[in-house]
Chains A and B, each alone.
Chain A
Amino acid sequence: MPTLTDNWDLFLEAFVNTILLFVVSGLFALIVGTLLGAFRVAPVPALRWFGAGYVNLLRNTPLTLVFFFVAFGFPYLEINFSFTTFAIIALSSYTAAFVCEAVRSGINTVPAGQAEAARAVGLTFFQTLRFVILPQAFRAVVPPLASILIALLKNTTIAAGFSVAEAGSIRANLSELGYPALAGLIWVVIGFLILVLPLSAAQRNLERRWSVAR
C-alpha cells in the first residue's frame, strides 16, 4: 500500500500518459484504418493492393518490432520526434491495420442482395448507403472495433520499453526509488483492470444486444 500512496504523483502521471497515448493513437488508428478500409473495397485495383499490402505487412509484424523500427530506426533516417510521438506513430500505424480489416469485413458482411433490393425499390445510391448498407455495416463493425481498441489500450504498455513514461514504466521508476517491484506492478495491474474490465464488459454487452439484429 505505501508503494501506491507514497508515489501517488508517479502513478497518476503515468496513467494519464497511458490514457493520452490510448486516445490519440486510437483516433489516428480509426482515421487511417477507415481510410485503408475504404481503399480495400474501392473499385480501383491500385488502392486495393496498397491496402492489402499494408494490412498483411503490419498484421504479421510484432508490435515490438514496429516500435523498434520507429523508436530506434527513425533517428537513423534523420527523422526525430519525441519518444511519445514515436510511440503514437508505432501504435497507430499498427492498430490501423486491424481497424482496416474490421471495417472491410464489416462492409462485406452486408449481403449484396440488400443493395440490390434497395436499388430495385428505387432508392438512389446515397439513400441505399444511408438507409440500408451503413446501418448494417456499422452494427457489424462496432464490436470488433471495440476489442481492437481494448487491445490498443493494453498495448500502450509496450511504450515503456521505448522510454515513454506511461503505466508500464512505473516499475522501473519505482525500483530506482528502492521500492519492491512486485507491489508496484500489482498496482499497475489493478489500474489496468479498472480501465479494461468495464470496457470489455460494455463491449460484450453491445455484441450480445446487436448480434440479434441479423
Chain B
Amino acid sequence: MTVTEAPRPPKARRKPSTPTTSVLFDVPGPRARRRNALIGVIGTVAILAALGYVIYRFWETGQFSGTKWEIFAYKQPQITILEGYLNTLKAAGIAAVLALALGIALAAARVSDRAWLRTPAFAFVELFRAVPLLLLMFLFYYGAPTLGFRVSPLWAVVLGLTLYNGSVFAELFRAGIASVPRGQSEAAYALGLRKSQVMMSVLVPQAVRAMLPAIISQLVVLLKDTALGFLVTYDELLKQLKQLATAPDFEYPLIPLVLVGGVIYVATCLLLSWFATWVERRLARKGSHSAAPTMHGDVGQQMGGGAATI
C-alpha cells in the first residue's frame, strides 16, 4: 500500500495500488504511519541483525577465504558444474516431453465416454500422484534389477518424473477442459459436430490456453525435482557439486559450491516462472476467459515432490 503525500481521512477513496493490497488494514492515518515507520525500523534492524549473524557465521568459519572460492577460477571445476547443469536440463527436457505426452493420453482417457478407459486412467492418476516421487525413482533404480533388468540413473529419474508429472498434467488438462463454459460444447453439438470434433476444435484449444501458465509452472516443479536424481546417483548438478566439495586443495569448499548451485537453480526457475507470468499476461490481454490458474494450483503444485491435489 503506497502512502499518499498528504494525510487523508481513512474514508478517502483508494485504489488497489499493489497486488498485496489487503483488507486487513485501512489507509494509515498520521498516527498509524508513525507506528508503521517504527515497526519498519525495528523490523529492518531485526532482519539485518539476523542476516548479519549468518554472514558472521560464514566469515568466522572461513567461508569467505580466497582459497575456497578459487575453485570457480579453474577450468575443470567449471566444466564439472556445467556438465551437471546440462545433465539436469537433459533429464528435465526428456521428462517434460514424455510427461506431456503421457498427460495428454491420460486426460483423453479420463474424459472418454467408455468406462473401461476412464476407470483405469483415474486409478493410474490417483496412484502416481500419491506415491512420493523419490520412491518412484527408487523403484526404477533399485527395484527393477530384482525383476532382471537394469535402469540407468538417468532413466530412473526420467521415468519417475514422467509418471508423476504425467498424472499431474492429466489433471491439469482435464481441469482445463472442464473450465470451458458448457455453452461452448452445447453449441458445437447443436451444430452437429461429433464428440471428437467438439473436443479437438472447440474444447482443447480453449483448455490449452487456460492451462498454459499452470503447465509452465508445473514444468518449473519438474525441473526442481530433477534434483532428486542426486539420491539415485544421477550425475546432475547437486551430485557434481558434492563431488567438487571433497577437494582438499580448496579447503573443502562445500558452502561456496552450495551457494553457487542455489543461484543456478533459482535463476533457472525464476526465468521459467517469469515466462509463465508473461504467457499468462499475454493470454489475458487477448481477452480469453479467465486464464488464471486457481490459487490452489498456484501454491499446491509449485511445491514439487508432489502436492497430491491441484
Main SS of the interface on chain B? helix
Beta-carbon contact of B25 and A182 below 8 Å: no
**Residue among A47, A48, A151 with most chain B CB within 10 A:** A151
Q: Given contacts A61-B266, A62-B265, A185-B142, are A40 and B20 in contact (CB under 8 A)?
A: yes
Q: Which residues of A contact B57 (CB under 8 A)?
A: 77-79
Beta-carbon contact of B20 and A161 below 8 Å: no
Beta-carbon contact of B261 and A65 below 8 Å: yes
Q: Given contacts A151-B306, A197-B130, are A98 and B143 in contact (CB under 8 A)?
A: no
Q: Which residues of A contact B131 (CB under 8 A)?
A: 154, 189, 192-193, 196
A108–B273 CA distance with the chains assembled, in angstroms: 21
Which residues of B (126-163) have their CB < 8 Å from a CB of A?
Answer: 126-127, 129-135, 138-139, 142-147
Instruction: Tell yes or no: A150 within 8 A of B by CB.
Output: yes
Instruction: Mark interface residues in A69-83 (1 if CB within 8 Å of B CB, else 0).
Output: 100110011110000
Beta-carbon contact of A196 and B254 below 8 Å: no
Q: Which of B19, B36, B135, B227 contacts A44 (CB under 8 A)? A: B36
A112–B43 CA distance with the chains assembled, in angstroms: 26
Instruction: Tell yes or no: B96 within 8 A of A by CB.
Output: no
A189–B255 CA distance with the chains assembled, in angstroms: 34
Beta-carbon contact of B135 and A181 below 8 Å: no
Beta-carbon contact of A48 and B146 below 8 Å: no
A116–B63 CA distance with the chains assembled, in angstroms: 52
Beta-carbon contact of A180 and B146 below 8 Å: yes
Beta-carbon contact of B298 and A72 below 8 Å: no
**Chain B: interface residue count, which band?**
35 or more
Task: Tell me the smallest distance from the CB of A45 to a CB of chain B, in Å.
Answer: 6
Instruction: Tell yes or no: B270 within 8 A of A by CB.
Output: yes
Q: Which residues of B contact A188 (CB under 8 A)?
A: 135
Count of A-B residue pairs with CB < 8 Å: 236
Q: Which residues of B contact A105 (CB under 8 A)?
A: 295, 298-299
Beta-carbon contact of B299 and A68 below 8 Å: no
Instruction: Mark interface residues in B33-48 (1 if CB within 8 Å of A CB, else 0).
Output: 0001001100110010
Beta-carbon contact of A107 and B22 below 8 Å: yes
The residue in chain B whose Cβ has the minimal distance to the Cβ of A64 is B227
Beta-carbon contact of B300 and A147 below 8 Å: yes
A157–B135 CA distance with the chains assembled, in angstroms: 8
Interface size on A, residues (CB 8 A): 79
Q: Which residues of A contact B44 (CB under 8 A)?
A: 46
**Residue among B220, B238, B307 with most chain A CB within 10 A:** B307
Beta-carbon contact of B265 and A158 below 8 Å: no
Q: Which residues of A contact B25 (CB under 8 A)?
A: 43
The residue in chain A whose Cβ has the minimal distance to the Cβ of B57 is A77
A155–B204 CA distance with the chains assembled, in angstroms: 33
Instruction: Tell yes or no: A85 within 8 A of B by CB.
Output: no
Q: Which of B36, B302, B305, B306 contacts A43 (CB under 8 A)? A: B36
Q: Given contacts A41-B24, A77-B58, are A192 and B245 in contact (CB under 8 A)?
A: no
Q: 6 A-B pairs, CB-CB below 8 angstroms?
A: A56-B270, A60-B265, A65-B265, A102-B299, A143-B296, A144-B299
The interface of chain A, by Cβ under 8 A from chain B, is: 40-48, 50, 56-57, 59-65, 68-69, 72-73, 76-79, 95, 98, 101-102, 104-112, 114-115, 129, 133, 140, 143-144, 146-148, 150-151, 154-158, 160-161, 168, 171, 175, 180-183, 185-186, 188-189, 192-193, 196-197, 199-200, 203-204, 207
Given contacts A98-B302, A193-B127, 7 further A-B contacts (CB under 8 A): A45-B40, A104-B20, A115-B23, A156-B132, A161-B230, A168-B132, A171-B142
